[in-house]
Each structure stands twice: as C-alpha cells, then as structure tokens.
Structure 1
C-alpha cells in the first residue's frame, strides 16, 4: 500500500494514541467519582422495587417516591440514632477494657500461659523478634493509623455524596432508562427495553435480598449475643449486619471478628458464639439465601463465586456487590439473545 502523506498519517496516529491515553488517564483520575455514581445507581435500582410496589397499590409515582424515601431515610436516621451512641460507647469500653487488661497484668499472665502451653512456638527469641519489628515499624504503623482516620472522614463525605446521588437517580430513573433506550435503533428498541427492565428488576431485587439477609443476621446476632451474656452485643450485631452486606465472604469475616471479641467475655462465650455462627452460616446458605435470592437472580453457584471474586478484585466491596447481578444480566442476555440467534443459524 502506497502512503500518500506519511506526515499526516503519523500525526493522526499520534493524536489518536494521545487521545486514548488521555481518556484512560481521565478514567483513572475519576475512579472515585465513578465509584460514587455506580454505588448510587446500584442503590437506586434497589429502591425501585419498593416504589413499584406502591405504584401497584395505585400510588402516583411522585407520592410513592416521597413515601419510600421518607421511610428509608427515617429508618436510617432512627437506626443511626439508636445504634451509633451504644456502639460508640461499647467500642470505648472495649478499648478501655483492653488497656486495663494489659495494665493489670492479665495480658502478661495470659501470654505466659500460652508460652507454657506452646514452648516451641512462643519463646524469648520470637518475642524479641516481634518487639524489634514493632520498634522498627512504629512510625509506619502510626502513619497508617493517621491515614485510616483520614479515610474514615473521606468515607463519611463519600457516603453523603452517594446518598444525594441515590435520591437523584431514584427520582429520575424512568427518564434515565428512556433516554438510554433512545440510543438503540427503533427496530430493536422494544426488545432492548424489555431486557433492560428485566436486568434492572433483578438488580433491585438482589439489593433488597442482600439487605434482608444482613438484617436477619444483625437481629439474630443481637438476640443471641445478649442471651449468652457477650460483651458489647449491639456493637457486635452492627458488625454482623454491615459485613453481611458483602456477598460470600462477609458473613464469615464478621463471624470471625465477633468470635474473637467474645473471648473477652470468656472462652465458653466464644465457643458458644462460634457454634452459633457455624450453624447460622449453614442455615443462611441452604435455607435463607436460596429462598430470598432465587427470586432475584438465578446464577449457578460456581459462577457466583467466580463473579464475586473477580468483582472484589477489580472494584473492592462495590465490585463484589455488583458482580453477581452483572453475571445474572450476562446470563439473561445469553439465554434470550445469543442462544436464540445461534439456533436460527
């Protein structure tokens, strides 16, 4: 092939590569904003089934929207008002009890008993090595603690932004969907709209189902931990609730943390908590989750694991949450579009 103007070709190629790099750099720079938008849109889709439920009861859309937002925001404020002061107080008690445990010598006695039981694992050389490592890395640990505090403040600011965006997306979700469908050729618009509605409905039901599972875990944890006399039951129940919002690994991670904290109340309490959470995870996996989630998304178990791991690796907690309905959407497209088209060939 003969090149008529190599300079112009090189210039256009260079500009194209530069534009691609600029776009990728912009996406990386705006990753936090994109995450906020994704989280808000995900929550808006989760609220949509409640609005649709009220609309089926002959509520106008605007009234259903107002009632839903008032109920959700009111429940959120009431939950924060009821739990946060207690959780903060119990967290302060936990820190104070840990300090007292160290200052009163109980920590040293406990450590000496471990050293006596496991002399090959815990000895003076290992203790000196750990002490030396702490002394060398103390400035780095301090800076990471400071970064954690800054991250908490940024998280609160981000939560406020997500709430505002969620309200906006919830109010304008039908118009957003209509505008997106207008980009599709008219001959395929009805089919794409039908698939889009099925996908958004499954995402909304999935969000509601995950929230229902987390709420069940939090309430049962609060009741059980109070009955067995564990310390800080409200704080631990809050941990169970928030970790259960994370699919697959959330429940087991929160359970491990709760059992570890229960050791402050004594080994029998921790053993009882461990047995309870082992039983609960089986009930959740084989009874609660199938009954709740099968109405939302229908995804094979192996694909659920792969999707959640991939989403968590790419986008963290938000990726793990979005990955399962995203996999369900791909399966829906494959079943209703790709396979029928292949059968026609």
Structure 2
C-alpha cells in the first residue's frame, strides 16, 4: 500500500485511537447509568407477561400497566410494613445477643466447654481449648482491636453513603421500570423498524421469544423465592428456630439468585440456628434436613414446572453464565446471566444453525 502523506495517515490513526479511548472512557463513566437501565429493562420484561395477561382480558394497555405497577408496589409495601417491624425487632435481639456474648465471654466459653464435653465425650476438650488459647496468645489482638476501633467512624460514613446511593439508585430504577413497562410496545416497534422488511417478520418472532422467555424467567424466579420464604417461615416457626422472620426474608432473597442462591441461604439459616443461647444443634439439624429435602423438591418438581415456559438452559451453560455474569456485574450479573444465555441459545438454534445447514 502506497502512503501519499505520512503526516495525514498518522493524524488519522491518532484521531482513531483517541476516539476509541474516549468511547471506552465514556462507557466507564456511564457504567452506573447503564447498570440502572439494564436493571430496569430486566424488571420491565419480568412484568410484561402480567401486563400482557391483563391486556388480553380486555384491559387497555395503560390501565394494565398502572394496575400491575400498583399491585407490585402495594404487595411490596404490605410485606415491608408487616415484616419490617418484626425484622427490626429480631435484628435488635440478634445484636443484643451478640453483644452479650462478647461482654460475657467467659460464661460463653464455659457453656461451650460444657456442651462439647457432653456432646463429644471422647474428645479431649481441655487440649482443644489450650491449643486455641496458645494460638490467640501468639496474635497481637490488642493492636488489631485498636485498628478496628479507629476505622469504625470511617466505616459508618461509608455505610451511610452506600445506603443513600442505594436508595437513590432504587428510585431511579423504579422510574425507569415504570416508563419501560408502559412503552414496551412502542420501543419494540422502533427497534423492528431498523430491520430490513424482508427479514422483519423473522426478527420479530425471535425477539418476541426472547422477551417472553426473559419475562417468564423473572416471574418464575420470584415465585420460587416466595414459595421458599413462606415455607421457611412456617417450618422454622414449627421447630422453634430463632429470628424466624429474618431467616424467612433471607430464604426469599437468596432464592432469587440462580444456581447457588437456595444453597447459600440454607447454609446461613442453619448456621443461625447454631447461635449459642438462642439456637441448638437439634434445631440446626432439623433445619438442615428440611432444606436438603426442599432443595431436591425445588430442583426436580417446582422449578421444572414453574420455569416450563422459559427456555431450558443446559446445566453447564447455567454454571458458566452465572459465574461470568457474577464476575462482570456482581449480583445483578448473576441474576440476568441465565436469561441472557437463554436468549443466545434461541439465536443459536433458530438463526445460526439453520443458516449453517443451508450452506
């Protein structure tokens, strides 16, 4: 290739590199905004099946959107108003219990020593405690405590700022979700107009499959979380587990996380049942047995039926998608990774494979 003007070529190359850097910097600066938009779009697609259901029953689109938003916000507000006072009370009890354990550490150690002696008669408990005491003596705990105390004030400010940022972000996401849910058909039509007329019908069919799959996935995951939360509340109340409301909320929210959410939430609940003074090994064992059974029922009975209208994703793809999404976008990435993988599978099966077979 003959270069007529080295200066002009270098200038164009420099401008191209600068433009690329500027675009990457802009995306990085707008990452929070893009995250808000992605979250709102994900939620609006989750609400779209309910809006479509009401619209098919003769309700105008705007009325269906308003009814859905009001119903969701009303249900969420009712749950918060009912559960929040109990959760706050039980969290206060939990903090008081942990504080008491720290203040009366000697009594706690003696109780733990007595329990280990009675539970494991063949274990040399005195040797275990001697080893732990020797290990603690080697560590400079006084200096660590001083460092932790000095960072408490800074930690409080950081937590306060994070809470305010989270509330602001939740408000922005709520507004965007309402707007996107109300304007979903017009947005779809605007996107469809960008596709050539000869391929438009095929594109519309695949796009509708993708949006329906994402919507049914979101609704199904929320349904699984509600089932787990309600059943956990009932069963934990029966076995006398501590902080039942708090643990039921934990079961609900962790069930929203695909793949490992139920397992992680169950492990936290079982460990909470082992807290000295409020729980017991028997309660923890009963909770562990229940969650082992529940996870099998959820995996082989509940999830296949609730998720029957969503696109089936192979197990290996689920693991890879969840890990990749979590690494890129954290918890939100893990939540949206599976519907994104399902969308890619739809394109792969209905576009790429038929095109390759035609060649």
Match of 2:120 in 1: none
Q: Establish whether residue 315 from structure 1 lines up as the match of residue 315 from structure 2.
A: no
Which whole-Å deviations, capped at 9, do the CAs of 1:303-344 have from their partners, x for residues lacking one?
Answer: 111111111111111111111111111111111111111111
Aligned counterpart, 1:270:
284
SS in 1 for 2:139: helix
Residues 110-149 of structure 1 aligned to structure 2 (within 5 Å): 110=111, 116=126, 118-119=128-129, 122-129=132-139, 131=141, 134-135=144-145, 137-138=147-148, 139-140=150-151, 143-144=154-155, 146-149=157-160
Cα distance between partner residues in 1 of 2:46 and 2:31 = 22
SS for the counterpart of 2:58 is coil
Q: TM-score of the superposition, structure 1-length normalised? A: 0.94
State the partner residue of 2:119.
Answer: none
**Paired residue secondary structure (2:242):** coil
Contact 1:102 1:108 in 2 (8 A): no
Structural RMSD (CA) = 1.9
Give 2:344's match in structure 1, choosing from 330, 336, 342.
Answer: 330
Q: Which residue of 2 aligns with 1:236?
A: 247
Aligned to 2:228: 217
Q: 2:354 aligned with 1:344, yes or no?
A: no
Q: Displacement of 1:259 after TM fit?
A: 1.4
1:147 deviation in Å?
A: 2.3
Q: CA deviation at 1:131?
A: 2.0
Shifted more, 79-88 versus 115-124: the winner is: 115-124
Change (3 A) 1:29 1:120: farther
Structure 1 stretch displaced more, 281-290 or 234-243: 281-290
Q: In the TM superposition, what whole-angstrom CA distance separates every residue of 1:261-298 from its partner, at most 9, and x where no partner exists? A: 11232221112111111211111112111221232121
Residue among 177, 182, 186 paired with 1:171:
182
Q: How many aligned positions are there?
A: 345
Whether the 8 Å CA contact 1:312–1:320 is kept in 2: the answer is: yes
> Aligned partners of 1:310, 1:50: CA distance in 2, in Å?
30
* Cα distance per residue 1:179-235 (max 9 Å; x no partner): 111111222111111111110000000000000000001001110111111121011
Alpha-carbon distance in 2 for matches of 1:16, 1:190: 37
In structure 1, the residue matched to 2:20 is: 20
Structure 2: gaps spanning 5 or more residues: 117-124
Could you tell which deviates more after superposition, 99-108 or 54-63? 99-108
What TM-score do the two structures reach when normalised by structure 2?
0.91
Greater shift after overlay, 304-313 or 287-296? 287-296
The 1:104/1:122 distance shift into structure 2, 3 A limit, reads closer
Q: More displaced, 41-50 or 182-191?
A: 182-191
Q: Distance in 2 between matches of 1:36 and 1:213?
A: 24
Q: Give the aligned partner of residue 302 of structure 1.
A: 316
SS at match of 1:118: helix
Number of the residue aligned with 1:77: 77
Secondary structure at 1:231 match in 2? coil
- Of 44-53 and 80-89, the range deviating more from structure 2: 80-89
Q: Structure 1's 99 and 54: CA in aligned 2 closer, same or farther, altered over 3 A?
A: same
2: CA distance, partners of 1:217 / 1:341 = 43
Aligned-partner Cα distance in 1 for 2:112–2:314: 47
Specify the alignment match of 1:44 in structure 2. 44
Of the three residues 117, 130, 152, the one matched with 2:163 is 152
Q: Distance in 1 between matches of 2:143 and 2:356?
A: 62
2:310 match: secondary structure: coil
1:268–1:63: structure 2 CA closer, same or farther, 3 Å change rule? same
What's the offset of the Cα at 1:54?
Answer: 1.0
Residue by residue over 1:40-98, the C-alpha shift from the partner in whole angstroms, topping out at 9 and shown as x without a partner, is 00000000000111112121212211211111111111111111121111101110111
